[in-house]
Amino acid sequence: MSAAAFTGTSVMDIDAAKVRGAGSNVHFDKVSVAYGAHVVLHPLTLDIAPGEILAMIGPSGSGKTTALRAVAGFVRPASGRIRIGATDVTDLPPYERGLGMVVQNYALFPHMRVEDNVAFGLRAQGADKALIGERIKDALGTVGMSAYARRYPRELSGGQQQRVAIARALAVRPRVLLLDEPLSALDAQIRRNMVEEIARLHRSLPGLTILYVTHDQTEALTLADKIAIMRDGRVCSHGPTTELYRRPPNRFTAEFLGRANLLPVTVAEAVGPKGFATARHGDALLTGAGRNEKAGDKSLLCIRPQHLSLTADSDHTNRIVGTLQEVHWQGELTHLVLDVDGTPVRVSATRLPIALPEPGAKVPLFFAPADTSLLPEDAGV
Ligand SMILES: Nc1ncnc2c1ncn2[C@@H]1O[C@H](COP(=O)(O)OP(=O)(O)OP(=O)(O)O)[C@@H](O)[C@H]1O
Ligand SMILES: [Mg+2]
């Protein structure tokens, strides 16, 4: 695969740039989708701001592709409206919506050269030859594939094919780019590179709104300004990426966005003006970031494995003790599993004490209140 990154040399035409700026937000207004009697998307209300990357993630069958296809115009909502910019597109055919779309399996036309694949949408729109030539050059330049214009898809690697699919989507100068698991057919190393390149691509086209559907929480955390987590046809949380990761509003979100330790606690002292509550776990009195917890509430204290330490820093004012069960050394990180009063607790440590404790040993763990989040105990959704 070419080492060239998406260089972002795209020459915007002024009209498209104008449309993108103000007109590229996507608004779902109580959009529901049903197949026969089976409702697969419950009324969804969601805004994607102009130029935002929204990652929609969730388990298989949770309705991610359905939501994206509703924006694209490939499924018709049973109720609700979809707007792109100021335009209500609910009744418009896909090709009038100003979108580019890339799906998992590239879907390049195998019998067409790269340049003809990229030109496809423009030809369908009846664009003139000079414009098409310019756009091909521009789109392939943007994805670092200028040297491959004359090749056929079968002569390209998976990563290169996916770049061409992105170039094809960009060639029509979309207001919104829809990506449905665009990298899932690629192997892990290429996927990581492509994630970085999509991030670079977006920096070069900052007004382009992107709806990025993925299973992969790392892709979502790396790329997205905001994340929407889908579960059973509903959005179970939606917010800025770092906020959702650091302060997940519910257990499903905490566990879907990376690993989370969830210690059952009872709130001892309600959330104060600085946003912290104290809570008991067995004998330990712990401080955690809360929302509106009150004394006596049963709650879960969420702590990410990398925020637990075997050595105490000055801000690590929380301390719990666990029995060491497993140690897995992985080069940069050592993963430990402990039992803390019946709750399995994972630690991912970069720093370890010189004398590593043996399995069966009682080990104190330290963590900072700011790295925690209290969740309602019963919050399945
Ligand atoms: N054409 C269809 N006819 C009937 N049911 C469908 C159709 N397309 C999807 N579904 C159902 O709608 C639900 C949501 O499917 P969708 O493809 O949106 O899930 P997803 O979140 O994209 O899953 P995945 O991660 O596996 O791609 C599933 O239960 C699926 O079986
Ligand atoms: Mg899907």
Q: Which pairing describes strands 276-281 and 284-289: parallel, antiparallel, or unpaired?
A: antiparallel
pTM comes to: 0.86
Work out the angle between the directed axes of helices 129-142 and 114-124 (0-180°, nearest 10). 130
DSSP state at residue 296: T
**DSSP string over 124-185:** HTT--HHHHHHHHHHHHHHTT-GGGTT--GGGS-HHHHHHHHHHHHHHT--SEEEEESTTTT
Distance 222 CA to ligand 2 centre (A): 20
Q: What is the pLDDT of residue 381?
A: 45
Which tens digits make up the pLDDT trace of 299-339?
A: 999 999 999 999 888 889 999 999 999 999 888 889 999 99
- Ligand 1, atom 29, lies closest to the CA of 61
Do 144 and 273 lie in one domain? The reply is no
Asked if residue 182 lies in contact with residue 166, where contact means CB atoms within 8 angstroms, the answer is yes
Please check whether residues 242 and 255 belong to one and the same domain.
no
End position of a domain, from candidates 185, 217, 246: 246
Residue 49 and residue 95 in one domain: yes
The residues with which 86 forms a beta bridge, in sequence order, are none
Q: Write the CATH number for 172.
A: 3.40.50.300
User: How many Å apart are CA 318 and CA 365, to the nearest integer?
Assistant: 8
Looking at the fold, whether 140 and 100 belong to one and the same domain comes out as yes
Q: Decide: 64 in ligand 1 pocket, CB within 6 A.
A: yes
Same domain, 213 and 258: no
Q: At what angle do helices 114-124 and 158-171 cross, to 10 degrees?
A: 20
Contact 35 CB / ligand 1 (< 6 Å): yes
Residue 381 is assigned to a structural domain of this protein = no
* CA terminus-to-terminus distance, the chain: 41
1 assigned to some structural domain? no
User: In ligand 1, which atom is closest to the CA atom of 213?
Assistant: 22
Same domain, 79 and 192: yes
> Which ligand 1 atom minimizes the distance to the CA of 59?
25
Torsion angle of C-alpha atoms 240, 246, 252, 256, degrees rounded to 10: 80
**Same domain for 162 and 34?**
yes
Ligand number nearest CA of 235 is: 1
Question: What pLDDT is attached to residue 250?
Answer: 93
pLDDT digits 0-9 by tens, 219-270: 999 999 999 999 999 999 999 999 999 999 999 999 999 999 999 999 999 9
CATH number of the domain enclosing 269: 2.40.50.100
| 64 Cα to the center of ligand 1, angstroms | 8
Q: Are residues 34 and 179 in the same domain?
A: yes
Flag whether 189 is in a domain: yes
Q: Is residue 12 part of a domain?
A: no
Atom 12 in ligand 1: residue holding the nearest Cα:
40
Residues 229, 103 within the same domain = yes
Low-confidence ranges of the chain (pLDDT < 50): 1-21, 379-381
Whose alpha carbon is nearest atom 25 of ligand 1? Answer: 60
- Give the span between the Cα atoms of 340 and 323, in whole angstroms: 7
Task: Report the pLDDT value the prediction gives residue 9, as an integer from 0 to 100.
Answer: 32
For ligand 1, mutation pick of 28, 33, 35 (most atoms within 8 Å of CB)? 35
Same-domain status, 155 and 269 = no
Q: What's the number of domains the chain is made of?
A: 2
Ligand 1 atom 5 nearest Cα: 35
Secondary element (H or E) of residue 295: none
Cα-to-chain-centroid distance, residue 5: 21
Q: Does 181 map to a domain?
A: yes
Q: How far apart are CA 140 and CA 147, in angstroms?
A: 8
Residues 210 and 69 in one domain: yes
Domain housing 288: 251-376
Does 9 map to a domain? no
- Ligand 2 centre to CA of 62 (Å) is 8
To test the pocket of ligand 1, the residue of 32, 41, 44, 65 to mutate (highest count of ligand atoms within 8 Å of its CB) is 65
Closest CA to 326 of 341, 335, 337: 337
Q: Is the CB of 231 under 6 A from ligand 1?
A: no
Using a 6 Å cutoff on CB, does residue 104 contact ligand 1? Answer: no
Q: List the residue whose alpha carbon is closest to atom 7 of ligand 1.
A: 35
Q: What is the pLDDT of residue 228?
A: 98
Query: Is the CB of residue 364 below 6 angstroms from any atom belonging to ligand 1?
Result: no
- Which of these three, 246, 280, 295, is where a domain ends? 246
> Considering the domain boundaries, does residue 35 fall inside one?
yes
* Boundary (domain end) residue, out of 246, 264, 295: 246
Q: Are residues 316 and 191 in the same domain?
A: no
15 belongs to a structural domain: no
Residue 199 sits at the vertex; the CA angle it makes with 242 and 334, to the nearest 5 degrees, is 55
* CA gap 314, 210 in Å, rounded: 41
